[in-house]
C-alpha cells in the first residue's frame, strides 16, 4: 500500500507507553489543532509538509494523523516517496483515538 503502513489507536498508545522512539505529526489545520491534539505530536499542516520535510528525522519511524485518516494517508505517501523508511498512518485519525477515550491535550 504506497510504501507505508497503518497503526491503530491501540498500537500507537502502546508505542507511547513503551517509550518507543518515533515522530508523531498532526497534519490538520490550525483551527482543528486548537481543539486538541495527541500528546507529543508536532503540528505540520498538510499543505506545509513539502516545505517542512527537513524538520523530520528520516532515521526514526514517523506516524502521521489527521481527523479521520484521509489527509494523513496523503502525508504518508508523500513521506514514503521522499525516502522515509518507516511511515505509519493512524487508522481513523484523532477521531479513532478519541473514540477509545485516549487523552487529547
Exposed, middle or buried by CB within 10 Å (0-12, 13-18, 19+), for 70?
exposed
**Which one of the listed residues 66, 76, 79, 87 is annotated catalytic?**
66
- 3-class secondary-structure state, position 34: coil
Active site residue 66: yes
Residue 83's CB is within 10 A of a number of other CB atoms, namely: 9
Please identify every residue annotated as catalytic. Answer: 66
Amino acid at each position: 500500500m504506497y510504501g507505508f503502513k497503518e497503526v491503530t489507536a491501540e498500537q500507537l498508545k502502546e508505542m507511547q507507553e513503551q517509550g518507543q522512539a518515533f515522530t508523531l505529526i498532526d497534519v490538520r489545520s490550525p483551527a482543528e489543532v486548537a481543539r486538541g491534539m495527541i500528546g507529543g505530536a508536532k503540528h505540520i499542516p498538510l499543505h506545509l509538509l513539502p516545505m517542512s520535510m527537513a524538520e523530520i528525522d528520516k532515521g526514526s519511524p514517523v506516524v502521521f494523523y489527521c481527523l479521520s485518516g484521509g489527509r494523513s494517508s496523503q502525508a504518508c505517501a508523500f513521506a514514503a516517496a521522499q525516502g522515509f523508511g518507516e511511515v505509519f498512518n493512524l487508522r481513523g485519525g484523532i477521531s479513532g483515538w478519541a473514540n477509545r477515550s485516549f487523552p487529547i491535550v
